A and B are shown apart, each in its own frame.
Chain A
Amino acid sequence: MSREPRLASLHRRALRRRVAIVLACALPPLAAIVAVCAMRASIAAAGVLAIAGIAIAAWVASRAVRRLDARWLARALDAALPRLEDSAALLLREPSALKGLEPLQRARLATRLARATPDLREAWPRRAVGLAAALAFALLAIGIAWPTRKPVDANGPAAAATASRALATRIVQAELAIEPPAYTRLPARREGTLDAKAPEGSQLHWRLRFDPQPSSASLAFHDGERVPLERDGEAWRAQRRLEASALYRITLEGAPPPEDDRLHRLDAIADRAPEVRVIRPERSLTLVEPGQQRWELEFEADDDHALADPMLSLTLARGGGENVTFSERDIAPAIEEVDGRRQQRYRHSLDLGTLGIAAGDDVIVRLRVADNREPEPNTTRSPSFILRWPAEAAGDGAGLEGVVQHVLPAYFRSQRQIIIDTEALLAEQPRPAPDRFLARSDALGVDQRVLRLRYGQFLGEETETPQPPAGDTHAQGEAHDGAQAPVDAHGHDAPAPGRFGDAADVVAEYGHVHDIAEAATLLDPETKETLRAALAEMWQSELHLRQGEPHLALPYEYRALDLIKRVQQSTRIYLARVGLELPAPDESRRLGGDREGVPDRAGTLPRAPAEAAPLRALWQSLDAGEVPDWEESLRWIAANRAKLPDALGLIAAIDAARRDPACANCSAQVRGLLWRALPPLPAQSAARVVPDAAGRTYLDALHDAGGDR
């Protein structure tokens, strides 16, 4: 439709106004609804709502615009300009379709229109737009002011409490760097919390930032120790070695207490000792099989961090009966790693030929494994395993009773025997020839000397060259008094074959007294003095015997015997007898049936001590909902930490419950931990309920019926 440009422009402006009015009415409430939705529900819902609202507004606007068609334009022009003489419709029609007077009229109108400036736009509907704006504001106000139903949860009261304690110091940053001991080879790590579990011996570094800044801060441990925090720019730092599990709290000065004011827990994970499992041998005693050349050993060990080198200790027991010699050596077994150094398998094949064991010998092995703990490693020893080559049966003793004795008997006489022999020599009638007499007396003197030397060893005297007791007496050097013993007289360069009673060997191999007589510590001073006196008597006795004067030697011999007996007795220990000491029975009343003056015995049944009374009191007051005596129970727990399953947990729970009496969860937690810590009580008896009137009547009736029967 061709239309005059001026008309078209008028129409367009009217259309724009109409669209503007629709939008002015629709958009403010829509925007308010979307905003409330975004605040209350979610952004997504608000977006969906916005799109839907805009679509509806666009549809309404298009409907409104469609109504402003050509007919409307004609009417509007007629209404606005009376000079158009109600014929504005002509302007909108095709000029070619006009008939009669219509083209003339159209031309007139066109000139009139060109001169006029009609405004076809609607007036702004102020009331509607104002209402829309008011509605939008009302919606916004309601959306903001409508009470929100907050989710009720357990933290509700706590959160409220935190809010009310607005003046708490915030811990802006809490960082706990854990540096495990180097030997564990664990990586250092950082925790964002103040509680941690770390290997024992770890170095802990705290790095904290507070808001507001306190003037000073420290870590207060539950055992009273305080570690001050040092200021480092904005942050506060501290460090401490974790030796044992502990609880601590951050204390601040010059600032309100921190918002998380509970006790924090540090758990020290103890390094565990290695565990050893024995794979071979399967039994603790293995017998050597005929033709066996090797003994296979296999162990496995694991540790929580790393194992150190293992050591197989080998003990060889040779010989039999009384004459067993031991030799020990350590062997490093072959190591096979199962799981790095945490789990290893050890193998060793023992070559019996090289070891040189013979029948009757035992080989005893045990594995010793240490871990790499510092400063002191944990060591675990496996059980001992024995490989035994059974001793051959004593076949050469066939026909004899008992076992053939392979060892020589003791070759010295006792002091009493010397006395007897001396007396026999003196009493011999007729008297022997002087040379024979001297020879026999000298032989007794040799015996006396051997005996003296033997006792002298107890005093730390140096031994003389050992020799068979029956050896040549003239070849012997003088015995030394211990105090002046020359240092070069050591006799252990050539060990004599082991024989029974050869005390020198025993001392050479095990005791080896190198010190001087006064310093010998085997005997107490009194005994030592007695023994020295006995030796002096023996010296004199030997002197006279060697000189062929047994009658002069005899008193010395007796005194020596007496002193030796005293030494022997002094080494025994006498204990006083203890136990049942019954009063002596009154023989005059015994079996007489007279009980006069014998009273009843009062029983001695003591009351069981109240165990863990403070814990029980705490439990009961918590159960009754009263305020418990925290101090008393904390004191008890501190004193009995070792007895309780989780003392630190209990202390922390009590601390939390104590600081926030309104916290129901905290006291429930204390109760749970307490339950575990309470020792059980013996079952108590209850009383039955008194029967009511009907019950009593029934019992009476029952009784009367029974009586009639």
Chain B
Amino acid sequence: MSLSLVTLLLLGFAVLAGIVRSLRDGRAHRIARPVLQVLVGVALALGLFPPMHDEPLDAATLVVLTPSAEAAPGGTPSRAARVVALPGAQAARAIERVPDLASALRRHPDARRLHVVGGGLPARDRDAARGRVVAFDEAPLPAGLVELEAPQRVATGARWLLAGRVARIDGSRVELLDPAGEVIASATPGSDGRFALAAQARAQGRLLFALRVVDAAGVQRERVELPLFVRDGVPLRVHVLAGAPDPDLKYLRRWASDAGLALDSRIRLSDGIALTEGGLAALDPAALAATDLVVVDERAWALLDAGQKAALRGALEAGLGLLLRVTGVPDATTVAEWAALGFGIEHVAATANVALAGMDAADAQKLTPSPVRVDARDATPLLRAADGSVLAAWRIEGHGRIGAWWLADSFRLVLAGDPARHASLWASTFSTLARAQASAQPALPTRARVDERVLICGMDGAARVEAPDRTSVALVPVAMPDGRACAAYFPTERGWHELLAGARRWPFHVRGVDDARTLAAAETARATRALVGGAAASTRAATPVRLPRWPFLLAWLALASMLWWLERRARAAA
């Protein structure tokens, strides 16, 4: 016998007793009082055990309230829904609190679909939610920096780019501060809030730049740390073969020498006479195996004999990088041979001058492409002009990479006072094409934050993480399904951490809890948005729901008052 049944029986008995007493005491209101007794009993019973009501509801959907759910449209879910609130969400007391989404799913094993309301699911809950999220009622993003694309690691001297978006600050300006706190670049975000900035990495080391968002009144609205690890480049062994000297070669050689590359060059001056730099290795397989990149133009190619070309092709397939500089229209043999290498070259009458992509239109230096059209359908663009046309491309050939470059006068960038851009252009080209020789580096966290779990993958053997206070924690790698060894780490301190694997050290930066909050919120929202979809279609069904108690209890109070009044009248009359 259940508790409710006992209660109801007691209640019924009480009502019955009340009626009998009312009928027998012979006072006034002989009819009204028993009727009221019955009504009071019924009202109390309904108040205690409200009747069920069928509400249309998807039984398998669980509404998950996340932080700042109150600001989201549709923030108050229907009563019929099953709602849980994650930590940090403001929710009514009646709503079930859960420590994380996985716990919520354990408590509601039939919940196959999730409806997320608010700022989004934190990283901890995203794995649990994968494949289940059907809807995301998103809270509006906070004002400030909401997107940021910046490199984590660059080579010394490289010009690095930074792009991002500022939301909901009118007339804002974005300033890039160098490690000394000086403004080195600033930009005004466009109407969509997007901006791009560039800076040069002057010295090798662990640097902390900063990005500052200033509103129209000049008040700093946000300051975000920009960690950057600058490391020294690799002295690539480069062999340049050219049919004739030209200014582009002059500045290319100048850069290569200044950047510390091991440069061998052979620039033909006349029949059998050349301007040579560095060693004079013959183009045989042994020498090419010790070279990372060969740069050759069409005139020098035409002068190579069949054996040298075969050696080049062989070395290319074994991993050598090869850059074909198209400075003019090659002869028919070269065209055929280069077409076999994946770059079909046709002569065109004239080409318009172009500006490189990513430069301000105002100060963009006009550069001249060579008068050719390069047909490289399976190649990846390496350099693009502002109008979208490709100026250099590369493709895979065996284990090596082969590229073609048909921009005739990159040296003009130096003459126009932008040697850093010229150097970066060639540095990135050489880095892309040259022989692979760096050992694989661990996958380090890029958005680590204090008190948030990060995943470090790709270590071989034992590894430790050293925090800024020099305390170190040994990692416990676990084999992942894809074969990588990954380990989790909970940073507790902001600043530069170091992964110590073997004799090598890999720095990564951990943000403080309060650093870049809007960015974190926007990332959470973006990641949650990416989870939406993929769940089974919703099946709407009626679900019985208890009606609210308060109307019945209110009715009980009113009826009881009336009964009390009648009884009093009756007693007074007697």
Contacts and interface: CB of A to CB of B under 8 A. Distances in A.
Interface residues of chain A: helix, strand, loop or mixed (majority) = loop
B44 interface: no
- Which of A608, A682, A699 gathers the greatest number of chain B CB atoms within 10 Å? A682
Contacts of B472: none
Interface string A630-650: 000000000000000000000
B535 interface: no
Nearest to A607: B257
Contact of B254 (A605, A620, A674): A605
A415 to B, nearest CB: 58
B138 interface: no
B399 A696 contact: yes
A682 B255 contact: yes
Contact of B178 (A676, A684, A692): A676
Interface string A647-686: 0000000000000000000000001111110111111111
B399 A684 contact: no
Contacts of B180: 672-673, 675-676
A680 B200 contact: yes
A691 interface: yes
Contacts, number: 157
A600 B276 CA distance: 7
Contacts of A603: 253, 265, 267, 275-278
A431 to B, nearest CB: 78
Given A619-B203, A623-B205, A703-B317, A684 B259 contact: yes
Interface string B263-282: 10101011111111110000
Interface string B388-414: 000000001111000000000000000
A682 B157 contact: yes
A306 B430 CA distance: 61
Interface string B525-558: 0000000000000000000000000000000000
Interface in B220-266: 232-234, 236, 253-255, 257-261, 263, 265
Given A685-B234, A688-B432, A608 B257 contact: yes
Chain A interface residue bracket vs B = 35 or more
B205 A619 contact: yes
Nearest to B276: A600
A690 B434 CA distance: 11
A116 interface: no
Given A623-B206, A690-B438, A601 B277 contact: no
A675 B202 contact: yes
B420 A680 contact: yes
A620 B276 contact: no
Contacts of A699: 396, 398-399
Given A685-B234, A685-B430, A690 B398 contact: no
Contact of A685 (B200, B236, B277): B236
B179 A675 contact: yes
A689 B439 contact: yes
B182 A676 contact: yes
B304 interface: no
B438 A689 contact: yes
Contacts of B436: 687-691
Interface string B145-173: 00000000001111100000000000000
B205 A683 contact: no
Contacts of B182: 676
- Which of A603, A671, A686 gathers the greatest number of chain B CB atoms within 10 Å? A686
Contacts of B277: 602-603, 605
A693 to B, nearest CB: 10
A321 B16 CA distance: 138
B292 interface: yes
Nearest to B274: A600
Given A601-B273, A681-B156, A672 B179 contact: yes
A222 interface: no
A654 to B, nearest CB: 15
B419 interface: yes
A595 B276 contact: no
B236 to A, nearest CB: 5
Nearest to B253: A605
A682 B274 CA distance: 27
Contacts of B204: 620, 623
Contact of B438 (A600, A679, A686): A686
A46 to B, nearest CB: 36
Given A601-B274, A683-B423, A703-B398, 20 more contacts: A595-B273, A601-B273, A602-B276, A603-B277, A605-B263, A605-B277, A606-B257, A623-B205, A681-B157, A681-B203, A682-B157, A683-B420, A684-B260, A685-B234, A687-B292, A688-B431, A689-B436, A689-B440, A690-B438, A690-B439
Interface of B: 155-159, 178-182, 200, 202-207, 232-234, 236, 253-255, 257-261, 263, 265, 267, 269-278, 292, 317, 396-399, 419-420, 423-424, 426-428, 430-432, 434-441
Interface of A: 595, 598-603, 605-608, 616, 619-620, 623, 671-676, 678-692, 696, 699, 702-703
7 contacts: A603-B277, A619-B205, A682-B259, A682-B423, A683-B255, A684-B259, A687-B435
